[in-house]
Every structure is written in C-alpha cells, then in structure tokens.
Structure 1
Amino acid sequence: MPKFDNLGVTLSFMDEGDPAADPILLIHGFASSMAVNWVGPGWVKTLTGAGYRVIALDNRGHGDSEKLHDPDAYTPEIMAGDSLALLRYLEIGQAHVMGYSMGARISAFLALAAPGTVRSLIFGGLGIGMVEGLGSWEGIEAALLADSANDAADARSRAFRVFADQTGSDRIALAACIRTSRKKLTPEQMGSIAAPTLVSVGTKDDIAGSPHELARLMPDARALDIEGRDHMLAVGDRMFKAGALEFLDALQ
C-alpha cells in the first residue's frame, strides 16, 4: 500500500475506484486496520461497486502505519489531523467520511476541525457513548501490556488482547492509543456538526450506546439499528451496508 507523511509520522493508505468519482474516506476502529475493518467485510468492494472513490488509511499505531509508544500522539484531534492530511495529500477538497467505533470519534473531530471538508458522516459502532463515555476500558490497556491473554481481568479485555495477538499488532502502541483516544465530545460539539449524518449501531452492541440519543443531539442526523448484531459483527452487516448506500445515494 502507498504511504504518506504527516508531521513526521508515516501512514499507510489505499485509494480505490474511479479517481473522478465522489470520494468517501473510511476510518477504522481501535486495534483494527483498513484491511480488517473495510476490505475483509466487503466495504471497499461495496462502495467502489456503487460508484464511489474509496480512500482509507491505517491510523497511526495500527496496520502498516508507524507505531508510536507515546500516548500524547493519539489524541482524537491528532488522528483527525492525519485523516485531513491524507485528503489534502490526495488533493481532495471534500469527501463523505465514514468511521467505525474509534474511527467514528475521529470522524466527529474531523468534522469539527474542518467542516467544509466533510460532505456527510456515517458513524458506525458508536452512539451516545461518544458523549457519555464507554465505561471502564482500563482493563484493556492492562491486558494489552500483560504477558498473556490469560492475565486479562475480564472478557472484553481478553477479547481485545486476543484480537491484537491474532493481527500481529504492536501492543505497546495500542495501549498508548487507548489511553488518550477516548476523549468525549460535548453535546454542544455534536450539535455544531451540520453535515448530514447516519448513526448506525448494532442492537446487541453493549459498547456504543444509543444511536438515537446521539442523532437527537445533531441538527441533521438519523439513526439506523443494525438488528441482532454486536459491536464486532455489525461492521460487515448487510443491513448496515444497505443503509449506508441509501443514505449516500439520497445526498446525490
């Protein structure tokens, strides 16, 4: 995959589809990558097949991008800056933006920092938790730094540690990321995001929080319930894909 540099950090990205088509930027979730979050579940194929130019990046600390061990390098503002830098590197003035979980939070910070760049937003896997918080995730950081997944304090922490091991991730970088990337947004900040927005969350997701409550804070947002899916399984769901395409098509 090609790479670019933002403020001295090397980041990997992809650029698929017709260069003249409407661009959509995809921002993946914590401990994932563009391959795991978007290629494997079929999003790149779905969106390019629907006529969109698909841009995606491996967030810093993830995938094939540079791994930093300083927690201060992973604030949502900094990671949103990486996404904005990629659009500028590709000379894209405006794009649809879709993020899953941590990527949804980064997308919101991108919309706040550069509202003219964001044509629309799709938040996946993160609802009102973007404002109210996602509960205690300290156990995940400890599990990432532990000698073994068996040392994890709970099932969620163990699942993230096992996933990190399966994907060959830099666990120290991920632990640094989770420490500072979960910054909450205020209701006022969400209310200032004017871009049309779709908030999509699985009905069995015990992490994200209500998509309806988040959508009600925003001036032009609607919620989509992904029936019967939890946080991990919702990302590739057919209902999610169909709802996203319907949302995007309505903006044409």
Structure 2
Amino acid sequence: MTEPSDLPVSLENVTARDGTRLAVHRMDPAGGEGKPLVLLHGLFSSAEVNWIKFGHARQLAEAGFSLFMPDLRAHAHSEAPHDPACYPPSVLVNDLEDVIAHYGLGEGGAPYDLAGFSLGSRTVLGGAIAGMTPRRLALVGMGLEGLMEFRRRAGFFIDAIDNFDTAKRGDTHFFAVSFMKTQKIDRVAARLLLSSTGLAIDRAQLSVPQMPILVLCGTEDKDNGSPEALAQALPNAQTAWIPGTHMSSVTEKALGRELVKFFGD
C-alpha cells in the first residue's frame, strides 16, 4: 500500500544519449526546490517500489531534499529497447550521467547527492568511479562480493529469466521469477541489460571515490555479501543497519530515516 503524502510526485522524461526515453519521478519539499538527491532503484524494481511506496521519498523531501528518481532502462516507465546496441557495458552509468546533465547538477551546477539500492548501488558507485562528484554517496543493500562477483550475480538472474515459465515454488529462482511477474518485467530487455552489466568493479577502483559514503544494509541481508568489508575497502565510508532482508528492508521506515540522517549532516 502506498504511503499517503501531500507532496506530489511528477513524472518527467529524459532522453539518453542513444535516444532511449528514461522516466524520472520528481518530488520537491513543500514550498519549492531543495537540495538535489538522485535515487536509483534495484534490479526488477522501480522508483515507485524502492523509494515512493513505503514513504522514503516523503521523508527525504520533508527533510528538504529535491528528489530525482529515475526508472532504470528496461524497468517500469522507462523504455526497454530490444536492440543489443542499446546495452553497452557502461549503459546504466551513461544513463545516470545523462539524467544528472539534464537537470544541471554538478560540474558548475547545483551540488547533489547520490544513493542507490542493490543494482542502483553498483551504478552510483560506478558513476563516482567514472568521475561523478556527488557531495555524498549512499550504497544500500550492497556488499563487497556483490561488486567483485557481479558476473555471477547477474548470471543467477539471467537463469531466472530463462526459467521464467518453469520455475516452481521451492526452486532457486522462484522468488526472482515471482517478483518479475509482479513488476511486469520485459524479459528480453532485462536479459540484455544483465548481459551488458556483467563486468565486476575492480577492487583497486574502490579507492577512487573520496566523498563520504554510507553503506546501509538490512541486518539479515546477505544477498550481496559483506557490507562491512565493502565499507573497509572504501576510503571514507561508514556502515549503518536497518531491520530486514534484502527484500523486506525496503519496506522499513528506518531506511528513509538513515538516509535523512546521512545526507542531512
């Protein structure tokens, strides 16, 4: 059930460099614009599910942030092209760069913050490694192994797509398939996306981002490995915990509270 809010959410379109239309959900504080914060959702999810539905966006907007919440390509309201050429290895980082440029953030524009959940975490960290300069960076639902071994993680979800019509309760891929069905995922586009993003981030690259980083994870979330090890591998990171597993932690109000606390410092 969606959290009630008197702060409206608008839906805008940004055209990526390859012509793909990306949907961006916007929410501003009451009374006008606030501090820009870009939020990226996780695999097979959406801005609505990860950030809006359970009230995290509202908490952040009420704390004075203007939110930019893209749906990743091949997800939700964004386009899902079936042309393999639309999925180079850096496609999600490219899309993030295009959204940031569209709204005039960074590089002489307004300072901004970045946060991502799961695949969104990998993308915002990849953006920082590629030269983006957010004021602060939050990695939610991510551990060191989820970055170092992303090829294996992506392979699991590619197998889930390939077993979409045969997975049964009790099978390894059942919950992933069930979530794809709920989210009405375009499986052709999702498979192309996962195949393009199969390259792991090299451990040496973790020394690149120098901004303050929050590694935020559910107390029972082991899906992407060790959050503590990830924080230790980054130059300027801290860990924080919220209740829940990889899936259930998204529903916890503590998620929004921890983000407000970190970005509001």
Q: Same fold (TM over 0.5)?
A: yes
State the partner residue of 1:249. 264
Q: Which whole-Å deviations, capped at 9, do the CAs of 1:86-132 have from their partners, x for residues lacking one?
A: 1211122231101000000000111122333x111100011112433
State the partner residue of 2:91. 78
Give the Cα separation in 2 of the matches to 1:211 and 1:143.
25
Give the Cα separation in 1 of the matches to 2:129 and 2:154.
25
**8 Å CA contact retained: 1:139, 1:153:** no
State the partner residue of 1:167. 183
Q: TM-score, normalised by structure 1?
A: 0.89
Q: Which amino acid in structure 2 is aligned with residue 163 of structure 1? A: F
State the partner residue of 2:129. 112
Pick aligned residue for 1:212 from 228, 231, 250: 228
Change (3 A) 1:95 1:119: same
> Percent of counterpart pairs with the same letter?
25
Q: What is the Cα deviation at residue 75 of structure 1?
A: 5.2
State the partner residue of 2:42. 29
Q: Determine helix, strand or coil for the equivalent of 2:240.
A: strand
Worse-superposed segment, 61-70 or 103-112: 61-70
Pick aligned residue for 1:48 from 38, 61, 85: 61
Q: Matched residue pairs, number?
A: 247
Pick aligned residue for 1:230 from 241, 245, 254: 245
Change (3 A) 1:48 1:185: same
Give the Cα separation in 2 of the matches to 1:126 and 1:21.
27
What are the within-5 Å matches in structure 2 for residues 44-193 of structure 1? 44-70=57-83, 73-74=86-87, 77-93=90-106, 94-116=111-133, 118-133=134-149, 135-146=152-163, 148-150=165-167, 154-155=171-172, 157-193=173-209
5+ residue gaps, structure 1, are none
Q: Which amino acid in structure 1 is aligned with residue 24 of structure 2? A: F
Give the Cα separation in 2 of the matches to 1:238 and 1:245.
11
Q: TM-score, normalised by structure 2?
A: 0.85
Q: Which whole-Å deviations, capped at 9, do the CAs of 1:193-248 have from their partners, x for residues lacking one?
A: 11110001112113121111111111110011224x11101123233322222111
Q: Which whole-Å deviations, capped at 9, do the CAs of 1:49-95 have from their partners, x for residues lacking one?
A: 11100001011111111102355644562211211211211122231
Considering fraction of residues, name the structure with more helix: 1
Give the Cα separation in 2 of the matches to 1:90 and 1:198.
24
Q: What is the Cα deviation at residue 137 of structure 1?
A: 4.6
Q: Which amino acid in structure 2 is aligned with residue 2 of structure 1? A: E
**8 Å CA contact retained: 2:55, 2:253:** no
